[in-house]
Every structure is written in structure tokens, then in C-alpha cells.
Amino acid sequence: MMKYIRKSEERGNANHGWLHSQHSFSFANYYDPQHMGISVLRVINDDSVAAGCGFGTHGHRDMEIISYVTQGALKHKDSEGNQHVVSVGEIQRMSAGTGVMHSEYNASKTEDVKFFQIWIRPNKLGIKPGYEQKRIPQNGIITPLVNATGKNGAISMQQEASLSRLVLSENQQFELTTTFHVGYLHLVKGEIMVGGKRLVAGDAFTLDQSESSALMATSAVEALWFELPVQH
């Protein structure tokens, strides 16, 4: 039984002209006490940024910030001297730690960039800021993208949690389980049937450690799969 289901159309919305963002959890001017995050997962923003536009230089501290690009490319620059372009198929993690200033701009002058902005609370405060970026090809149904140690080809982060990419072809079935305290599946594209419910792109649900859920893809599916610890 899925205790928490987050429907795409119920997410918070922000439209600033150059930026259209859908917030799975409370963020900026969108506040809902029923949707403050899951465990240490604090933010999932589904962002679309117009050509030539972006987020100007601003600061963060004590947060693991992950960018997952689904269309176009993102130009990153920060106060630690990192300057990179993050394109589809790459994963970016910035550890804000004691404090970092950064900007994120659409690298294209002609097309929108679409990406997920993900914030995870670290398990240690005041660390030295860090940056890591990597292209991680899919290997099987679930491919690790970010975890605590960087094992299995993933990027590392300052938290006992993991983020993986789940990919299913049309009509493919998969039994989803987690060894962590809680799992959270966010659909990037496609449709699935789970627990008798139809979920579409932008929808999400949680899975407790003692549970498993049979997924049935009714179209080609891409999803982000988070495994998260007990929040202290």
C-alpha cells in the first residue's frame, strides 16, 4: 500500500516568464505543510528555463544539490572555480557545505533547457564545498547515479542515501523494493500501473522498507528512484 502519492497536477507552480517550475515539495513562494519533503529529500523542482536565461549568482550552504538534465544543456559556474556544461545523460552534484556562490544558465541561445533541481540534506554540516559531474549510461533497469560512497560508478554525496535512474520499456514489469527506511519514485516520463493506480510523468509515490510494489510500464518509462534514511 502506497502511503504517500504525489500527483503531478497537484504540485506547486511558478511561472516567471523565463522560468517555469513545478515544485513537488514546499519551495520559495509555494508552501504546503503536507508536502515538506520525504526524509532527507527536501526539494524536487521540475524546471524549464528559456534560451539564454538562467539563475544568476546566488548562495547556498549545508545542502547537497543535484541537477539532472532531461533536455538541452545547463551552464554551471561557482565560487570554487568550477565552470562546466551539464548535458542530457550527465549528473551534477554540488555540496554547498560552508557556503558557495553559483549560477546556472541555459547553455543554448535557441532552445529551452529542462532539468530537475534536487536538494538533499547532508548528514554532516560545515564540510568543504565540493563539485562532481559525470556521464552515467544506463545499465539494466536501475542504474546508480548518486550515493554515499560513489560505489557502482555513481557520484558521491554527503548523506547515507541514494539516487538511481529506473528505465522500463513498454509492457515491462518490475518488482520495486528498498533496503532503506523509505523509497521515493518520481516519474520523469511515461506511465506505469502500480497498486491498481495509473501514474504518469510528474507523479510520485513512497515505498516503505517492509513493502514492495509491482510496476507495470504501459509505455516507455524513465524515473528517479530515491532510497532514503531515517531522518534524525
Count structural domains, the chain.
Answer: 1
Q: Any idea what the CATH number is for the domain that residue 140 is in?
A: 2.60.120.10
Residue count of the chain, please give it. 232
- What are the cell numbers at 85? 556544461
Alpha-carbon distance 117 to 42, whole Å? 11
> Tell me, what amino acid is at 53?
C
**Residue range 131-158, pLDDT digits in tens:** 999 999 999 999 999 999 999 999 999 9
- Largest interatomic CA distance in the chain: 49
176-194 average pLDDT score: 96
15-36 pLDDT, tens digit per residue, is 999 999 999 999 999 999 999 9
pLDDT for residue 2 is more than 90? no
pLDDT at 89: 86
Residue 34 CA to residue 12 CA, distance in Å, equals 12
- At residue 206's C-alpha, the angle toward residues 203 and 212, to 5°, is 115
pTM equals 0.96
**What confidence tier does 1 reach under pLDDT thresholds 50, 70, 90?**
low
Looking at the chain, the whole-number percentage of residues with pLDDT higher than 90 is 95
The pLDDT score that the predictor gives to residue 232 is 63
Q: Which domain holds residue 75?
A: 5-228
Secondary structure (3-state) at 149: coil
d(CA 142, CA 202): 19
In angstroms, the CA 116 to CA 48 distance is 9
Does position 3 have pLDDT exceeding 90, yes or no?
A: no
Residue 80 is which amino acid?
A: E
DSSP code for 129: P
pLDDT at 69 over 70: yes
Around Cβ 119, how many Cβ atoms within 10 Å? 19
